[in-house]
Structure 1
């Protein structure tokens, strides 16, 4: 090899090594930048969450002074520049699954009262065994230790991994159905606290039974007249004129929900009972976020909002649907 050949090869080798080094450093820098962005978003989520402790709970509220269970996360993530869904069911379905023993600050935590089934409330993990959530029972945003709630934890999801914006792929949404459901719910919420009366006359709105309440909600919300019949009559109307399902997970906001007779508050009280062979004795309205809007007794206080999953309402469920 001549001296000239040796110098040319050495020069090429140096240039190649330099290029590879620069490429590697560039790749590492890009990865570090991505990690820094994600870490920065998580820190912002945690900081915002901690600043809202003590704010009032309000069902379905998305801030800035009142928050529902899902609304708290929707508000905080929005302020951090990340768009997410606004219901517990959609957040649980669309987020990236995280193992329970691998949760990180900024991850969403989902709980149910019995520790199984669909989540009924949710919070945001802060790190160091701490999380916050908007508590209906305590009436405000509170901080708790995750270790005290592990028996109720049914899953964790992240929206801060996999992309800079971490926005989940959203499934097609029937906006018309969502809008109609909201109108029914808003019409029904006007009657919160209205006293219950079994077999009410329907001649006035001073008192209501379950089917009179749903009758007025659909009449005033959407102009749909299902007649003056009871729960069973309304179920038949839904089957004849609308869409219905026997799967709780397929329920949409504003759907009518039909139930069998009460047998007890425990799941075991309904063991071996075939819902499709039972008579419909009650109807309510599904609000989303695992909540029901309904009236069922004088003692309960008339028209009110109740939990769905993990209660006797879940075990009594027969079908649900909308009359359009």
Structure 2
């Protein structure tokens, strides 16, 4: 083989390898990202496929469903973890007040008199149709949304169009990159004042759960509004398996006899947590060996 032939062969090999590598990376990125429109279509399709299944209070499927549990099940099938109660789901995601702005995949809520707290709910599937598990009819049914205008309380959008690019914001679709993005999102709010009951629509103040809800939402992950609701989603993990981005839920004090959750923080790695409380507001705190650690009730992984 001449020197010229060797150079040409080597060059072709390098170009081929590079092409295959880039193609593989593009394929992985495409596989890792499910589009907003595809997710809403899948949720709607799943909801329709459950029509005729029996209603049963608090039943989680796959053959019987309570009102909220139907939505929980449908979203779980597309890899999205949401709450499991009507009251909790009524506070999650983005509020949609007008019936005219409801989109496929949105959760729709109703009460018998159109006021107060919701008593039943369903999944909007488009074309003025929604699916819900009806106690009165004893099964999952499809109805015209417009026929329920007097009972309509509002809707919540769990899937956000901006989440299509959430994996790209860190340049890596992996869970660790998403966790790093969550921490980065939280760091930009360091020093922001603490306010109990702070609105989820503001970034001028936070309470512990509005802070976690905000920084996870900015990374494309939707959480319920308060800490106890947030503790119902995701996968439980032990302290020894803590990873960056895990949510740590705590009780009121080390000596409290009740395990009622009163605080949530984000594990930031290196024995630290990122959270907000009292006078420091959003801050890092040492976790390992402190009262924060001793107050832990549960740890959940939502990434």
Normalised by the length of structure 2, the TM-score is 0.45
Higher strand share: 2
What's the TM-score once normalised by structure 1's chain length? 0.42
